[in-house]
Amino acid sequence: MTLAYDECPSCGRRWTLPRTGCPSCGAEPRRCASAGLGTVAAVSVVHPSSGDPYVLVLVDLDDGVRAMGRGAPGLAVGHRVRARPDAGIPTFRAD
Ligand SMILES: [Zn+2]
């Protein structure tokens, strides 16, 4: 899975969740591929009612957007990470 974000060709705003129009000006966005490099902004350990715990991270991508994904164990705020291809949501590991 390639990490992607939307960019507004009119005002330049960027975001990660797909939308049909720019939230600032309404223009039709274009989908852009991210290199997947960024810095961890938040870390949470999720304990589901069934199954093993897992790590969720918010990452400030170098592209100027914040993305959510799974994180490798041991990540902390401020760590530099890279998104790895995965079948589902992106997985971030130390770069
Ligand atoms: Zn716009």
Q: What is the pLDDT of residues 19-59, one digit of tens each?
A: 999 999 999 999 999 999 999 999 999 999 999 999 999 99
Centre of ligand 1 from the C-alpha of residue 19, in Å? 12
Q: What is the pLDDT of residue 84?
A: 86
Give 10 Cα–ligand 1 centroid separation in angstroms.
Answer: 5
Nearest Cα residue to 24 out of 14, 38, 32:
14
Dump pLDDT digits (tens) for 36-46.
Answer: 999 999 999 99
Q: What values do phi and psi take at 85, rounded to 5? A: -60, 140
Q: Ligand 1 is a single-atom ion; what residues have CB below 5 A from it?
A: 8, 10-11, 13, 22, 24-25, 27
- Reduce the DSSP state of residue 47 to 3 states and report it: coil
Both tokens assigned to 27: 């223009």
pLDDT exceeds cutoff 90 at 8: yes
How many angstroms is it from 94 CA to the middle of ligand 1? 33
> What domain count does the chain have?
1
Backbone angles phi, psi at 75, to 5 degrees: -70, 150
For position 13, which CATH number holds? Answer: 2.40.50.840
Q: Quick one: tokens of 23?
A: 């939230």
What is the span of the domain harbouring residue 82?
4-94
